[in-house]
Amino acid sequence: GNSVTQMEGPVTLSEEAFLTINCTYTATGYPSLFWYVQYPGEGLQLLLKATKADDKGSNKGFEATYRKETTSFHLEKGSVQVSDSAVYFCALDDPSNTGKLIFGQGTTLQVKP
Amino acid sequence: GAGVSQSPSNKVTEKGKDVELRCDPISGHTALYWYRQSLGQGLEFLIYFQGNSAPDKSGLPSDRFSAERTGGSVSTLTIQRTQQEDSAVYLCASSLAGLAYNEQFFGPGTRLTVL
């Protein structure tokens, strides 16, 4: 079945460091891909998405490119801030086309000043 | 503006008791989803509603779990005879329609602890 695999955390970085969180997926067909973020004490919110191969999603300085050939959707940011500390979830939509999401395990990012 | 709300925010119950968790989606959103976030299992889909119908219940872990939605709005997730393994954060999300390109908006969750 469809699944998402994320790199295990926690990831600890200093402010202004470069961030990469790896995400790979297994899917039938051509799913849409998402990154959701959960800040401390807050609900999940959509960070960015890509709906087809080679699309790049971007928001708040974060980027991810839908790579069909490597079945990947890695999250990157050039210069992280303390306020980026959160749990990041990679997800894809189920092929049933109901919008139901299949999530990775989540990666905790801690950014130190 | 009003987002997705859930109640209660925290629920502590004893093993064997029944619990009801409530979700108020964003007004006008026809699609509603329940997910469960637990330490060992990550974020798992439970059930999907389109209007008042549940075309996908495939994620409900056992027949102790049920959910309903009334008036195309409020949804209630019921867990009967709770077990310790039911302890988790239960998340509700809604979207304009049950399609992949419609963003899902999540509520803050209900943290359930079964003693």
B95–A contact, CB cutoff 8 A: yes
Tens-level pLDDT at each residue, chain A (113 residues):
889 999 888 999 999 999 999 999 999 888 999 999 999 988 899 999 999 999 999 999 999 999 999 999 999 999 999 999 999 999 999 877 788 999 999 999 999 99
B87–A contact, CB cutoff 8 A: no
Distance CA A18, CA A61 (A): 11
Q: What is the pLDDT of residue B39?
A: 81
Whether residue B100 is predicted with pLDDT greater than 70 in this model: the reply is no
Q: What is the pLDDT of residue B101?
A: 67
Q: What is the pLDDT of residue B41?
A: 74
Task: For residues B25-48, give the mean pLDDT.
Answer: 92
Confidence category of residue B75, pLDDT binned at 50, 70, 90: very high
- β-strand partners of A6: A23
Residues of A in contact with B102 (CB under 8 A): 99
DSSP strands (E only) in A11-106: 11-14, 19-21, 23-26, 33-38, 44-50, 56-59, 62-65, 75-77, 86-93, 101-103
B10–A contact, CB cutoff 8 A: no
Q: What is the pLDDT of residue B21?
A: 98
B60–A contact, CB cutoff 8 A: no
A35–B contact, CB cutoff 8 A: no
Task: For residues B85-108, give the mean pLDDT.
Answer: 88
Q: What is the pLDDT of residue B1?
A: 54
Asked if B101 lies within 8 A of A31 by C-beta distance, the reply is no
Whether residue B102 is predicted with pLDDT greater than 80 in this model: the reply is no
Q: What is the pLDDT of residue A11?
A: 96
Residues of B in contact with A102 (CB under 8 A): 45
Q: Are strands B105-106 and B5-7 parallel, antiparallel or unpaired?
A: unpaired
Q: Please give the structure tokens belonging to residue B50.
A: 């389109």
Average pLDDT score, chain B: 93
Q: What is the pLDDT of residue A7?
A: 86
Helix (H, G, I), strand (E, B) or coil at A2: coil
Residues of B in contact with A46 (CB under 8 A): 103-104
Q: What is the pLDDT of residue A96?
A: 78
Q: Most B CBs within 10 Å: which of A100, A102, A107, A108, as the mutation test of the B interface?
A: A100
Distance CA B25, CA B107 (A): 8
Asked if A31 lies within 8 A of B100 by C-beta distance, the reply is yes
A28–B contact, CB cutoff 8 A: no
Q: What is the pLDDT of residue A97?
A: 76
> How far, in Å, are A111, B33, B96 from residue B56 at the CA level?
39, 10, 17
- Locate the chain B residue with the closest alpha carbon to A105: B42
Q: Which among B42, B103, B107 has CB closest to A43?
A: B107
Q: What is the pLDDT of residue A41?
A: 85
